[in-house]
Amino acid sequence: MENPELAVSSCSTHDDGSLRSYKRHSSVCQEGLLEDQLRRKLKFFFMNPCEKFWARGRKPWKLGIQLLKIAMVTVQLVIFGLTNQMVVAFKEENTVAFKHLFLKGYMDRMDDTYAVYTQTDVYDQIFFAINQYLQLPNISVGNHAYEKRGAEETALAVCQQFYKRGTICPGNDTFDIDPEIVTDCLYIEPMMSSDNTTVGKHNLNFTLDFHRLVAVQLMFNLKAINLQTVRHHELPDCYDFTLTIVFDNKAHSGRIKISLDNNIAIRECKDWHVSGSIQKNTHYMMIFDAFVVLICLASLILCTRSVVKGIWLQREFVSFFLYYYKKEVSFSDQMEFVNGWYILIVISDVLTIVGSTLKMEIQAKSLTSYDVCSILLGTSTMLVWLGVIRYLGFFQKYNVRISWDLRAVASHPNTASSITQCDEVLLLRCYDLPGLLFLWMDCTGTIPCEVSLSEHGFRMPFFIDQWR
């Protein structure tokens, strides 16, 4: 008869083996389930918006926002460019006008050759500029005026720089000089417009020692208002011109070069009133800029969220490989989860938001930073249009580089040559979206039908192909 104790022991051993086998089977099943879930996450993550819509019906909000943003940012930059063009033109035209007003006998395109060679000509040039400044309200065709500090108008400063002490005798080949530079200034107050008195050597105590003379500078400030913006339904700006006329005698060569420097500053007008619909147009433009800010803010949030999701998935993938396969994922493979296009869009969104806010302040005449705003909006628009290249890869028909298998393309020399030519033209026409689409459609027409597509029809990193 069988021993009951042996029977119980045998049954217990059989149950323990079954339990261990069940645990191993459960562990294998759980690992397979986790692997399948991770594979599905990776496959969906590396799909483009169109494929995500076809796979799960997920609406491509980021794609729609980017297309809307491209149009709005471009229109915004064009409008601001037209405004900034008037600002630049006003600066340049005033500088040319000042040269004709204050430089005797000046002609266009003679800045490098404009000079005097006799003492009489030097005095004539200096007194001509002084008299033109004093008679400016009567002779200028522009809306120029003297700068005021309080109730008084600022004076014109005539400063001469010369060596402190010097005795020069070229005939005897001797000289005695102290190289220290001394500056002596004379200030001339603006006269009333009704006073036609001219200034000259007879009524102004001003002499020059040409042997010691280094330079003569005439410095004065003028103000003006750019009224041409009113015709374009924009509020005008007020301008401060700091002019310096320099008579350069550093070389002591017998030729004194004359130049006029104009340092321009844009100010907010203190008290202004414009009748008509200009303020309404300004409000409409500010509403448009505010809408651009909202669109870019939505794009910034969505793209930042996608970058964060990619980093989370990267950590999950690295942990899975390290735990189940005892392998470390290389840095290059980990960077596949960081979408550089999203980072580019985030940077462009930040620049657009800052630039649009600055543009709104400029339109409200709270700020006058035209140059900074131009740099921000121009750079952001360039980055937005560079991002257009990414969207060409969303459609397999137009996506030569991404959708077609590289090994198959390499096996067709004519095809590879055609793609290279297309890319060269693409770099030249990357600013033109219709041109891009036309070029890619024309290029893809040369692709043979025998070229095979990748297994899933969308871009997957190399390490996932190995895992598969």
State whether 121 and 67 are in the same domain. no
* Residue 364 CB contacts under 8 Å (≥ 6 apart), including other chains: 282, 286
From residue 312, how far is each of 45, 60, 253, 309 by CA, in Å?
11, 21, 73, 5
Condensed to tens digits (0 to 9), the pLDDT of residues 26-82 reads 565 666 677 777 777 777 777 766 666 676 766 777 778 888 999 999 999 999 988
State whether 389 and 402 are in the same domain. no
State whether 43 and 120 are in the same domain. no
β-bridge partners, 265: 240
Answer yes or no: is 21 within a domain. no
Condensed to tens digits (0 to 9), the pLDDT of residues 81-126 reads 888 888 899 999 999 999 999 999 898 887 788 999 999 999 999 9
State whether 346 and 423 are in the same domain. no
In a 3-state reduction of DSSP, which class is residue 134? Answer: helix
Which range, of 63-67, 101-105, 211-215, 358-362, averages the lowest pLDDT? 63-67
State whether 120 and 226 are in the same domain. yes
Q: Which contiguous run of DSSP H or E holds residue 262?
A: strand 256-267
| Chain position carrying tokens 């404009």 | 114
State whether 125 and 240 are in the same domain. yes
User: 60 lies in which domain range?
Assistant: 39-91+278-394
Tokens of 423: 């890319």
pLDDT band at 415 (very low <50, low <70, confident <90, very high): very low
State whether 293 and 234 are in the same domain. no
Domain's final residue, options 340, 370, 394: 394
Tokens of 38: 């991770």
- The sign one gets for the Cα dihedral 454, 459, 464, 466 is positive
State whether 303 and 346 are in the same domain. yes
pLDDT of residue 2: 47
Q: Which contiguous run of DSSP H or E holds residue 227?
A: none
CB–CB of 208/216 below 8 Å? Answer: yes
State whether 258 and 157 are in the same domain. yes
Answer yes or no: is 15 within a domain. no
Answer yes or no: is 4 within a domain. no
Domain's final residue, options 369, 394, 419: 394
Among the listed residues 43, 38, 32, the one whose alpha carbon sits nearest the alpha carbon of residue 456: 43
Tokens of 358: 């600055």
Q: What's this model's pTM, rounded to 2 decimal places? A: 0.66
From residue 396, how far is each of 146, 271, 400 by CA, in Å?
66, 60, 8
Answer yes or no: is 12 within a domain. no
Answer yes or no: is 97 within a domain. no
Radius of gyration (Cα) for the chain, nearest Å? Answer: 38
β-bridge partners, 215: 161, 248
Q: Which contiguous run of DSSP H or E holds residue 126?
A: helix 119-134
State whether 376 and 251 are in the same domain. no
Answer yes or no: is 18 within a domain. no
Total number of residues shown for the chain: 468
Domain's final residue, options 344, 373, 394: 394
Answer yes or no: is 186 within a domain. yes
Answer yes or no: is 11 within a domain. no
* Residue 419 CB contacts under 8 Å (≥ 6 apart), including other chains: 400, 401, 409, 443
pLDDT band at 16 (very low <50, low <70, confident <90, very high): low
Quote the CA–CA distance of 29 and 27 in Å, as a whole number. 5
Half-sphere exposure of 119 (CA within 13 A, CB side): 7
State whether 77 and 168 are in the same domain. no
Quote the CA–CA distance of 39 and 381 in Å, as a whole number. 37
Top-confidence range, 14-18, 148-152, 186-190, 276-280: 186-190
Q: Is the pLDDT of residue 440 over 50?
A: no
Q: 366 — phi, psi (to 5°)? A: -95, -25
| Chain position carrying tokens 């060409």 | 392
Among the listed residues 393, 376, 171, 174, the one whose alpha carbon sits nearest the alpha carbon of residue 292: 376
* Residue 460 CB contacts under 8 Å (≥ 6 apart), including other chains: 42, 43, 46, 454, 468
- The sign one gets for the Cα dihedral 184, 190, 191, 194 is positive
State whether 378 and 400 are in the same domain. no
Q: What DSSP line would sit under 378-404, residue for residue?
A: HHHHHHHHHTHHHHGGGSTTT-HHHHB
pLDDT of residue 452: 33
Percent of residues, the chain, with pLDDT higher than 70: 71
Q: 445 — phi, psi (to 5°)? A: -70, -15
Quote the CA–CA distance of 298 and 264 in Å, as a whole number. 38
| Chain position carrying tokens 């969303």 | 394
Number of domains present in the structure of the chain: 3
